[in-house]
């Protein structure tokens, strides 16, 4: 079974990313093709990059980095649930990515982005050069939520049909790419 890591990319108090990510997790479980590892960066609690060696060396000195490396290494595919902050990516998500290097190699990545009028897409675009340099492969279908917070009712994300259709296609692509890329890792 494909191991899908879903990462909640915001640590901001009052964030709407958590209920959106919980919806994504429910969709992934319903899909049936994934063993889901749900990562809330608040709970993960990575400090700002504190390793003395470059991540490509994999000479980690901190227990939190070793644990994070093992988790990411075990994943076959990723779904980043991420906001856009000031026309760019979430600093917490970027930090979590930057802690590692080889662990991301030849693994597919999809996005559920949210924000204002741009639906978080500028945050995704800011991450793309980093992810490409790490050898990640982006899927074609991505959920983009314009003012996604308006779809959170009593702490639960309420998707529209379009978003449900897109995430199902995205999950199919993540599974297919994970299987196809496995021999290249």
- Which residues neighbour 25 within 8 Å (Cβ) at sequence distance 6 or greater? 6, 36, 38
Enter the pTM of the model. Answer: 0.97
pLDDT of residue 7: 98
Q: Mean pLDDT, consecutive 10-residue segments, the chain of 185 residues?
A: 98 96 98 98 97 97 98 98 96 98 98 96 98 98 96 97 98 98 95
Rg (CA), the chain: 15
């Amino acid at each position: 079974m494909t191991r899908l890591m879903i990462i909640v990319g915001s640590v901001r108090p009052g964030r709407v990313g958590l209920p959106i990510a919980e919806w994504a997790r429910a969709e992934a479980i319903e899909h049936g093709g994934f063993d889901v590892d749900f990562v809330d960066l608040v709970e993960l609690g990575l400090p700002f990059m504190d390793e003395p060696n470059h991540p490509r060396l994999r000479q980690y000195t901190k227990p939190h980095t070793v644990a994070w490396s093992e988790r990411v290494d075990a994943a076959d595919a990723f779904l980043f649930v991420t906001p856009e902050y000031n026309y760019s990516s979430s600093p917490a998500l970027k930090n979590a990515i930057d802690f590692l290097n080889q662990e991301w190699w030849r693994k597919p990545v999809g996005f559920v982005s949210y924000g204002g009028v741009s639906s978080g897409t500028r945050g995704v675009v800011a991450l793309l050069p980093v992810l490409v340099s790490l050898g990640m492969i982006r899927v074609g279908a991505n959920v983009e939520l314009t003012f996604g917070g308006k779809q959170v009712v009593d702490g639960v994300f309420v998707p529209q049909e379009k978003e449900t259709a897109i995430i199902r296609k995205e999950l199919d692509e993540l599974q297919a790419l994970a299987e196809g890329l496995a021999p290249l890792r």
